[in-house]
Amino acid sequence: MPQQKIPVGILGATGVVGQRFIQLLEAHPWFEVTWLAASDRSAGQSYGDAVRWRLKTPIPERVLHMPVSNAAPEGAPRVIFAALDAGIARDLEPQFAAAGCAVVSNSSAFRMHENVPLVVPEVNAGHIALIEKQCWRKQSGGYIVTNPNCSAIGLVVALAPLHQKFGIESLFVTTMQAVSGAGYPGVASLDILGNVIPYIAKEEEKMEEETRKLLGQLAGDRVEPATFRMTAHCNRVAVEDGHTESVSVKLQRKADADELIAAFNEFRSTPQELKLPLAPAQPIFYDATPDRPQPRFDVDRGNGMTVSVGRLRPCGVLDYKFTVLSHNTIRGAAGAAILNAELLKAQGFLS
């Protein structure tokens, strides 16, 4: 007898990340989208009418005619994927958690909140335990779980095996981020054609604090952030999907380049052990080609869930430097949240 799928809802279903949720949840073995919500402007319309679909695959037939609901907990299923702007998320996500929902959020609103787990399943699955500290959990069973910013997540996946094996001591990263990271309409073409924008509001702050929380230690009621020194330079470039990052790292324990490459390629973690549906077989792929990874060619590796690393070489200031590439709206947003929900399901938090 086939198991029944878990009904899920999407908050912010018409945005760029909302669209990715719908695309990635189509034919998902565990979850089924039964409820879509968006701003008041869209509510009441069919999804097909409300959305300006910006993906290459067509809108799934089943979703096309689904009505868009108001963004309120009444009538919503118990599992909610949230793809809201931070300001709106700050108001709405607690309402859904208070109503008993598992809110699996891509927003930055509560990522740094002491009781809210900020999780990448390959990196810090154990931090999920923080949800037991949330007031909503105690009252209604609801809770909020978050994934990091799209620029932090590729970096953190790439760093995880290095941090486990050798210890990160200092970290330097410059990002070249795709326009889809800014949502839709997002970056105006007049701003980015033939250009680089060396600034993304609050991005560097998020990268730095989220990276430390993700690589930190759960210590009783809270996460003790990692203490390495870190700096981020964030830039926007004329790329559609895929954040490329130039990284330098100093390690606590010296290691040679082969050890690092092996650490990247051999890295497996909780999602692979649990065989979570969206988990890539290989979370990190080290590409030995001299001029890779590149967003145009490598962003879809592992269905957009594998992080590519390349160009490992000595660094004149820290120990090593290398390039990281990850898909910002799959591994860095919708796929990240779905993987979190799969982890929650596998660990019994969705029943």
Provide Rg for the chain, Cα atoms. Answer: 19
Should residue 19 be labelled a site residue for a second copy when binding is judged by CB under 8 A?
Answer: no
The interface region with a second copy, picked from 67-75, 89-97, 268-276, 292-300 by CB under 8 A, is: 292-300
Interface region with a second copy, contact rule CB under 8 A, candidates 91-99, 122-130, 160-168, 294-302: 294-302
Which of 39, 45, 140, 294 touches a second copy (CB under 8 A)? 294
**C-alpha span between 219 and 167 (Å, rounded):** 18
Could you say which residues in the range 72-101 bind a second copy, by CB under 8 A? none
Cβ pair 328, 299 in contact under 8 A: no
Strand-pair category, 79-82 with 68-69: unpaired
- Please give the single-letter amino acid code of residue 185: P
Query: Which residue among 101, 127, 163, 243 is the active-site one?
Result: 243
Residues contacting 219, CB < 8 A, separation 6+: none
State how far the Cα of 96 lies from the Cα of 44, in Å rounded to an integer: 20
Cα(283)–Cα(327) distance, integer angstroms: 12
Region binding a second copy by CB under 8 A among candidate stretches 77-85, 86-94, 115-123, 307-315: 307-315
Closest by CA position to 215, among listed 274, 180, 164: 164
Give 213 or 311: the residue with its C-beta nearer to a second copy: 311
Say whether residue 64 binds a second copy (CB under 8 A). no
Among 158, 239, 276, 338, binds a second copy (CB under 8 A): 239
Cβ atoms within 10 Å, residue 182: 21
Contact 103, 136 (CB under 8 A): no
Pick the catalytic residue from 150, 163, 234, 327: 150
Stretch that binds a second copy, among 96-104, 145-153, 154-162, 230-238 (CB under 8 A): 230-238
Relative to beta strand 196-197, strand 229-237 is: antiparallel
* Per-residue interface string for the shown chain with a second copy, residues 117-156, x marking contact by CB under 8 A: ----------------------------------------
Q: Is 348 in the site for a second copy (CB under 8 A)?
A: no
Per CB under 8 A, 296 contacts a second copy: yes
Binding span for a second copy by CB under 8 A among 86-94, 271-279, 291-299, 337-345: 291-299
Of the candidate residues 237, 255, 261, 262, the single one contacting a second copy (CB under 8 A) = 237
**Residue/partner pairs of 128-135 with CB below 8 Å, 24 or more apart:** 128/343, 128/344, 128/347, 128/349, 129/218, 130/218, 130/221, 130/222, 130/223, 131/349, 133/221, 134/97
Annotated catalytic, 150? yes
Q: How far is the CB of 184 from a second copy (least distance, A)?
A: 5
Min. distance of Cβ 314 from a second copy in angstroms?
A: 9
Under rule CB under 8 A, residue 311 binds a second copy: yes
Strands 307-314, 320-326: parallel, antiparallel or unpaired by DSSP?
antiparallel
- Of residues 172 through 201, those in contact with a second copy by CB under 8 A are 172, 174, 176, 179-180, 184-199
Instruction: Assess 244 for contact with a second copy (CB under 8 A).
Output: yes
Which residues between 316 and 345 bind a second copy (CB under 8 A)? 316-318, 321, 323
Question: With contact defined as beta carbons under 8 Å apart, do 286 and 320 qualify?
Answer: no
Quick one: which of 106, 123, 149 has its CA closest to 284?
Answer: 123
Q: Which residue has the tokens 């910002």?
A: 328
Size of the site for a second copy (CB under 8 A): 58
Residues with a known catalytic role: 150, 243
- Which residues sit at the interface with a second copy, rule CB under 8 A? 16, 54-56, 170-172, 174, 176, 179-180, 184-199, 208, 229-233, 235, 237-240, 244, 246, 248, 290-297, 300, 310-311, 315-318, 321, 323
